[in-house]
Structure 1
Amino acid sequence: MTGHLAAEEVTVGYGRQVVLDRVTLTIARGETVGLRGPSGSGKSTLVRVLALLHPLNHGHVSIDGVPVTGTRYAVPAAVRTRIAVLFQSPRAAADPRLNLTDLIAEPLRATREPERRVSARVAELADLVGLTPDLLNRRPHAVSDGQLQRACLARSLVHRPDYLLCDEATAMLDASTQAHVAAVITGYQRTQRAGVLVISHDPALLGRWADRVVDLPTAGAVPAGRTAR
């Protein structure tokens, strides 16, 4: 099984400020790519571009060599659900009105999966990430950051994505929860042959986890025509 997710010659700006300047990055199925760079270099923007959440000024995102047009719900569900994101802050990513069961189930319900399948998948993933049944009935304010990030990890895996993008996903966790989250992601990757992108400022973590590490310089620091490799 082969395939890849790629941002090709991507330029993104906010007004007159260019955040990404002709950046190319490829993540192959089964590969773990580390991404590092200074604050303000556009790492999180690149994640949102790859996840089809942010529009481009130039360039394109492709899956298995096929360019993807549009963002968010303008992209067919069968395409956009092949990519998932695990963000740094679970509290910013989670709807505080939902209990953990509904938080995990939300992406499945958005694609109108039968409730029987939703319940089975939530139970399967809760067990995988180490959430006990009593936690599933709680809302985000009633669980720890680590427990909430486990729920966010479960949610990111509900559609069995081919690519998982981790934006400083373990930065706010204690060491034991970091290790558990990393182990779940690694196990999922081996089972599904998923491509994984890991953003981190921790060189030791990237050294242990990534097959290769890409440096993303601040926009304007790379001469025209070069890629972030």
Structure 2
Amino acid sequence: MLELRRVTAGYDPREPVLRDLTLTLEPGESVGLLGPSGCGKSTLARVAALLHEPYAGEVVLDGEPVRGWRHRAPRAQRTAFGVVFQQPRLSADPRLRLADLVAEPLRANGLDHAARVAELAERVGLGQDLLARRPHEVSDGQLQRACLARALTLRPRWLICDEMTAMLDASTTAALVAAVEAYRAETGAGLLAVGHDRVLLERWCDRIVEWEAGAGRG
């Protein structure tokens, strides 16, 4: 179970974006977080993925409180999450070939990567010919496929998709959602999908948590 208990977080302690917020995800559950820009959805997603330390409250993973954030989080907790952000060009090193981008988490953990990269490329619909290219040589949709593959490399138990499809066309959106759902069906991973597209989230998720503008500020 993933629990956020009475979380207060933001980027200025004097004006938190989130205040006293609680959210629980059951194993295997898919939850959509729906709301307008600026309401704190992405901040909550980063807290849930152990990428942003809250000012108050706690994150509890499988009954164990999280004690560290980003690289200071215990490896077992840190690698339980796979994260895909809205803008792939801001989350991809422009110097890396897509094959190396997908392999980043594997290399960081000293794991063999060649076979896994090929497997993941096929899973997300990324042609093998594209793996030798760099981000500026592919489309946004192709780069986001690589970012999704990277998020899946360590077989995470929780996926955080923060506006993953906001910049993509309908066919690419459908392909990425299908890839996420195929992975979840195979592994039982839970999902927190952040977005402002109600129709997509209603089709994708088991339930939706809806925020209005300013709701995250309590």
> C-alpha distance in 1, partners of 2:216/2:6?
14
Give the alignment partner of residue 157 of structure 2, picking from 149, 158, 162: 162
Find the counterpart in structure 1 of residue 2 from structure 2: 5
Q: Flag as ranges the 4+ runs of structure 1 deviating above 3 A.
A: 219-222
Contact 1:91 / 1:148 at 8 angstroms: preserved in 2? yes
Alignment match, 1:53:
51
Aligned: 1:27 with 2:62: no
1:102 aligns with 2:75: no
Alignment partner, residue 182 of structure 1: 177
Q: By how many angstroms is 1:221 displaced?
A: 5.8
Contact 1:19 1:219 in 2 (8 A): no
C-alpha distance in 2 between matches for 1:160 and 1:72: 18
- Give the TM-score normalised by structure 2: 0.95
Q: Within 2, Cα distance between the matches of 1:33 and 1:13?
A: 22
Shift of 1:14: 2.4
Say whether the 8 Å CA contact 2:40–2:216 is kept in structure 1.
no
Q: Which residue of the partner structure matches residue 127 of structure 2?
A: 132
Q: Aligned Cα RMSD in Å?
A: 1.2
Q: Which letter maps to 1:144?
A: S
Q: 1:98 to 1:221 in 2, by over 3 A?
A: closer
Q: Tell me the SS of whatever aligns to 1:26.
A: strand
- Whether the 8 Å CA contact 2:98–2:130 is kept in 1: the answer is yes
Correspondent of 1:149 among 144, 147, 164: 144
Between the aligned partners of 1:73 and 1:92, the Cα distance in structure 2 is: 19
Structure-2 separation of matches of 1:96 and 1:220: 34
The correspondence for 1:123, drawn from 118, 121, 145, is: 118
Bigger mean CA deviation after superposition, 12-21 or 49-58: 12-21
Superposition deviation, residue 219 in structure 1 = 4.8
The equivalent residue for 2:37 is 39
TM-score by length of structure 1 reads 0.91
Number of matched pairs: 216
The alpha-carbon distance between structure 1 residues 221 and 108, as it changes in their structure 2 partners (threshold 3 A), is: closer
Q: Distance in 1 between matches of 2:200 and 2:39?
A: 20
Counterparts of 1:199-210 in structure 2, within 5 Å, are 199-210=194-205
What is the SS of the residue equivalent to 1:17?
coil
Gap change, CA 1:169 and 1:220, over 3 Å in 2: closer
Cross-structure match for 1:111: 109
By how many angstroms is 1:39 displaced? 2.0
Residue 38 of structure 1: how far off its partner (Å): 2.5
Q: Which runs of 5 or more residues in structure 1 are unaligned?
A: 223-229
| 20-29 or 156-165, which deviates more | 20-29
